[in-house]
Structure 1
Amino acid sequence: MRTWIWGGHMNHDELATFVTELADDLAPTAVASGAGLGALLASAEEIVDDKAVLGVMVTAVRMGNIASYLLAAATARAEAIGIPVRHRLKNGRDLLRELPLAPSTVNRVARLAQHLDDLPNVVRDVRDGDLTVEHADAVIRGLDHIATRIGPTGFDEVREKTATTLLAHARIDQPAQVIEKARELGHELAPLDPPSTPPADNPSLNQATISRTDEGRVALEADLDQLSGEKLHTALDALAKPIPAPDGSPDPRPRAQRTADALVSVISSYLASRNRPTVGGIVPHITMTAPLPVLVPDSPLGEAHAARLGFTGSVSADTAREIACGSAEVAALITADSVPLDAKRTQRFVTGTLRRALEARDGGCQFPGCGRPPACCEGHHIQHWADGGETNLKNTVLLCSLHHHTYIHGKGWNIQIGFDGHPWFQSPEGGDWIRCHNRRTLTLANHAAA
């Protein structure tokens, strides 16, 4: 390799030597020696070494930023002198892809390399170690967004000003906030007849996929325009609020799980409503096909095979019995030897007059501390339908999807109808029975004494 030295400054070999020496200083053997950075990080003492440790953190950040500039500058120069072509690659971005870098890092560095000359202030901050490549990339992408909103001619007039504004935000804000500021500027500066529709306003770009994983779960992925996304947030926000446990402790579910539960609640409410499009003249419901022995293990009708759902295929026997509990959005076909059977004990689902009576008694989800309205609830059989439980007011209770499937069927909470004719709940660990949501001022002991 040919090495050049300009004015006594560090060359490539010296840079490589410095990096190697730093790596060696952090190795276990150097740590054991009791000297150097590695030893400091392994044995720093409180208060005495606070300043030194914080200094290492600040310097490490600056080193990373300078390294990002170094990589971008090398990429730009490599492209200028034709290195990618000689390696049968198209450009500097393809050259970066040959390195052990994540795709997101490749894209950020490549964009910075393309703007080394026309964004001198942004480049200077990265080169001096004062700005991360993530923040610089937010400025670059923000400027690209503004350019698409106002057109090349209009953008040339405001380029320097908007670049200064976004860089000022990049120095104090997070990258996402810089992008949001760019979107605001794009709206402010866009002419009455903008040259293009911003992606955030274009519903024709909407996409969503639903796929089944190897474990049988269902994975969702969606890319929505801003207004549709706002509708989704609005629909889920209240339903995703934390729900304290019956003992008052915080909701143990993380935000992602609460959002998923809220989405399921919205879907369940939609399927329970009859005011929706029909298919073949009927309101569509979930369809399950199951041999009767799957739902009623003591059935004499022969060997059982797996139950199946219309879209997602075979389900476990436990899930099939949970469906048979009586979710309002489910219509099940019970079959044996592929012959439809009328497996109802008078009535399996909580509908009609019984549903209205149940709503009058419960008024919503009766799991302690919930109280979601009847439209969000399903009728649950206290003694499971598969175990011979009847569909009547004494054996049913309104529960929202979360508490029905996650807490009762999933976690094993118990329910009984108390002296007051209302449901009472007991945790899987046992202990005292807890009054239902709309009877929060009463106890079983009160009624027993009476």
Structure 2
Amino acid sequence: MNHDELATFVTDLADDLAPTAVESGTGVGALLATAEAIADDKAVLGVMVTAVRMGNIASYLLAAATARAEKVGIPVRHRLKNGRDLLRELPLAPATINRVARLAQHLNDLPNVVREVRDGDLGIDHADAVIRGLDHIATRMGADGFAEVRNKTATTLLAHARIDQPAQVMEKARELGHELAPLDPPSTPPADNPSLNQATVSRTDEGRVTLEADLDQLSGEKLHTALDALAKPIPAPDGSPDPRPRAQRTADALVSVITAYLASRNRPTVGGIVPHITMTVPLPVLVGSGGEGDSRVTRLGFTGSVSAETAREIACGCTEVTALLTADSVPLDAKRTQRFVTGALRKALEARDGGCQFPGCGRPPAWCEGHHIKHWADGGETNLKNTVLLCPLHHHTYIHGKGWNIQIGFDGHPWFQPPEGGEPIRCHNRRTLTLANHAAA
């Protein structure tokens, strides 16, 4: 089959799948449009298998053409550097370009892998995992040591590629790299190199904060360990599953870790002072008496202006916050005992609650904030009868966000009421009370 015949074959197949051909009642397109249950099961499954094989063969065809184009100098004549640049001229995703280019580079030295792609039995994603896995092992061993085991490791990885996913092939390659690496490896693998770590924290146009990090394996393990238990689903008070998706639970866990860190005094100081969140807020905004058209806004130290509602929420018992109230542009220190839950009151609160008291939670005191049941800005006092320990999730998302209500009951403990009303629910550490206990309390 020459190029013209190949082009004709592809055109005929495309035409066969077009709506006009489907309406004719013949060909693969018509089969896919009119296939009937049971009678055409085998044919439809056969089309799927053949389509996968065609895609694999097409990947080999593109890699082989790229390699030959580079050898005969086509990129140079088009003022390009190499075959990879030639691929970039085609409508391909960057990841696909990289995979095809790597396969093109190994057409001659990995015959078994190339043969399976060429025959349509192995996808380019799996073949690329073998190639990248071999490159990883080579960096751990050095060129001389790797040459002795190259064929054996290629065979091992190819066997895994036939039955496993690409990520599993790469994990096997990393295992082999650890097993085969000499005591004094020629280079530090990226996974073990903390000097390559990078992280960025940036603010979006909407005022949200985005995180992006690239960590070495050990640092990543520490992060997973810190977040894992905190990111587990928390059933709702009625026993229904946690409605938060995994990504949201992970974000909430990260916030909990940060909150606990800021609540600890055993951390580095800045200018001799343990750092706190700094909030500058006009007093009328905090107490809700700002006049119409008042242009003064609340600001946080790093992330800038926030809404009045958020300012009042932040000021509600966050012991890591240092709030500066400005009245007529005069800053006043608002972190005082009658405003924040600190000292003896904090200890008494921890003794009574023992952790987050939202029904079904119970996270330890170190993860919690003291919440004013009647807001301080509304005249609520900072005492045991008007405060409760809540973790950041239930404090900000459920109480301030969803409107759950709290009251201290006759038993001296907090009771929770859903925003839609109904009977109050006992707090977490009183959840096992029976009716008899209730009456006796």
Quick check: TM above 0.5?
Answer: yes
1:107-146 matches, cutoff 5 A: 107-146=98-137
Q: CA deviation at 1:338?
A: 2.5
Identify the match of residue 417 of structure 1 among 384, 408, 411.
Answer: 408
Task: State the match for 1:104 in structure 2.
Answer: 95
**Structure 1 contact 291–304 (Cα < 8 Å) conserved:** no
How has the CA–CA distance of structure 1 residues 300 and 106 changed in structure 2, closer, same or farther, with 3 Å as cutoff? closer
User: 1:401-442 CA distances to partner (integer Å, 9 max, x unpaired)?
Assistant: 111112212222221212211111122222222111100123
How has the CA–CA distance of structure 1 residues 47 and 27 changed in structure 2, closer, same or farther, with 3 Å as cutoff? same
Task: State the match for 2:356 in structure 1.
Answer: 365
Q: CA deviation at 1:46?
A: 2.8
Count how many residue pairs are aligned between Structure 1 and Structure 2.
Answer: 441
User: 1:327-382 CA distances to partner (integer Å, 9 max, x unpaired)?
Assistant: 12211111134211355786221111111111011000011111010001111111
Task: State the match for 2:281 in structure 1.
Answer: 290
For 2:268, what is the secondary structure of its paired residue? coil
Identify the match of residue 268 of structure 1 among 259, 264, 267.
Answer: 259
Distance in 2, Cα, partners of 1:443 & 1:297: 42
Task: State the match for 2:388 in structure 1.
Answer: 397
2:163 aligned partner, one-letter code = I
Task: State the match for 1:93 in structure 2.
Answer: 84
For 1:99, what is the secondary structure of its paired residue? coil
Task: State the match for 1:4 in structure 2.
Answer: none
Distance in 1, Cα, partners of 2:229 & 2:189: 29
**Structure 1 contact 109–133 (Cα < 8 Å) conserved:** yes
**Structure 1 contact 419–448 (Cα < 8 Å) conserved:** no
State yes or no: 1:202 paired with 2:208. no
State yes or no: 1:84 paired with 2:75. yes
State yes or no: 1:37 paired with 2:59. no
User: 1:201-259 CA distances to partner (integer Å, 9 max, x unpaired)?
Assistant: 11111111111112111111111111111111111111111111111111111111111
Task: State the match for 1:326 in structure 2.
Answer: 317
**Structure 2 contact 323–335 (Cα < 8 Å) conserved:** no
Identify the match of residue 237 of structure 1 among 228, 237, 255.
Answer: 228
Q: CA deviation at 1:305?
A: 1.8
Distance in 1, Cα, partners of 2:132 & 2:4: 35
Q: CA deviation at 1:99?
A: 1.0
How has the CA–CA distance of structure 1 residues 270 and 49 changed in structure 2, closer, same or farther, with 3 Å as cutoff? same
Q: Structure 2: give runs of 5+ residues left out of the alignment.
A: none
1:151 aligned partner, one-letter code = G
Distance in 2, Cα, partners of 1:418 & 1:184: 58
Distance in 1, Cα, partners of 2:16 & 2:341: 71
Q: TM-score, normalised by structure 1?
A: 0.93
Identify the match of residue 252 of structure 1 among 243, 261, 264.
Answer: 243
1:387 aligned partner, one-letter code = D
For 1:415, what is the secondary structure of its paired residue? strand
How has the CA–CA distance of structure 1 residues 80 and 377 changed in structure 2, closer, same or farther, with 3 Å as cutoff? same
User: 1:29-79 CA distances to partner (integer Å, 9 max, x unpaired)?
Assistant: 333344333333334333333222222222221111111111111110110
How has the CA–CA distance of structure 1 residues 343 and 202 changed in structure 2, closer, same or farther, with 3 Å as cutoff? closer
Greater displacement, 332-341 / 32-41: 32-41
State yes or no: 1:67 paired with 2:36. no
How has the CA–CA distance of structure 1 residues 197 and 13 changed in structure 2, closer, same or farther, with 3 Å as cutoff? same
Task: State the match for 2:39 in structure 1.
Answer: 48
Identify the match of residue 212 of structure 1 among 180, 203, 212.
Answer: 203
Distance in 1, Cα, partners of 2:244 & 2:70: 50
Q: CA deviation at 1:308?
A: 0.8
Task: State the match for 1:386 in structure 2.
Answer: 377
Q: CA deviation at 1:146?
A: 0.7
For 1:171, what is the secondary structure of its paired residue? helix
How has the CA–CA distance of structure 1 residues 20 and 158 changed in structure 2, closer, same or farther, with 3 Å as cutoff? same
Instruction: State the superposition RMSD in angstroms.
Output: 2.0
**Structure 1 contact 78–84 (Cα < 8 Å) conserved:** yes
**Structure 2 contact 67–105 (Cα < 8 Å) conserved:** yes
2:339 aligned partner, one-letter code = R
For 1:290, what is the secondary structure of its paired residue? strand
Q: CA deviation at 1:315?
A: 1.0
State yes or no: 1:154 paired with 2:145. yes
Task: State the match for 2:271 in structure 1.
Answer: 280
**Structure 1 contact 240–261 (Cα < 8 Å) conserved:** yes
Distance in 1, Cα, partners of 2:301 & 2:338: 22
How has the CA–CA distance of structure 1 residues 342 and 118 changed in structure 2, closer, same or farther, with 3 Å as cutoff? closer
Distance in 2, Cα, partners of 1:444 & 1:321: 38
Greater displacement, 28-37 / 199-208: 28-37
How has the CA–CA distance of structure 1 residues 18 and 308 changed in structure 2, closer, same or farther, with 3 Å as cutoff? same
**Structure 2 contact 323–333 (Cα < 8 Å) conserved:** no
Task: State the match for 1:308 in structure 2.
Answer: 299
For 1:341, what is the secondary structure of its paired residue? strand
User: 1:291-333 CA distances to partner (integer Å, 9 max, x unpaired)?
Assistant: 1122122257993522111111111222111101111221111
Aligned-residue sequence identity (percent) comes to 89
1:139 aligned partner, one-letter code = V
How has the CA–CA distance of structure 1 residues 28 and 396 changed in structure 2, closer, same or farther, with 3 Å as cutoff? farther
Task: State the match for 1:227 in structure 2.
Answer: 218
Q: TM-score, normalised by structure 2?
A: 0.95
How has the CA–CA distance of structure 1 residues 332 and 270 changed in structure 2, closer, same or farther, with 3 Å as cutoff? same
Q: Structure 1: give runs of 5+ residues left out of the alignment.
A: 1-9
State yes or no: 1:354 paired with 2:345. yes
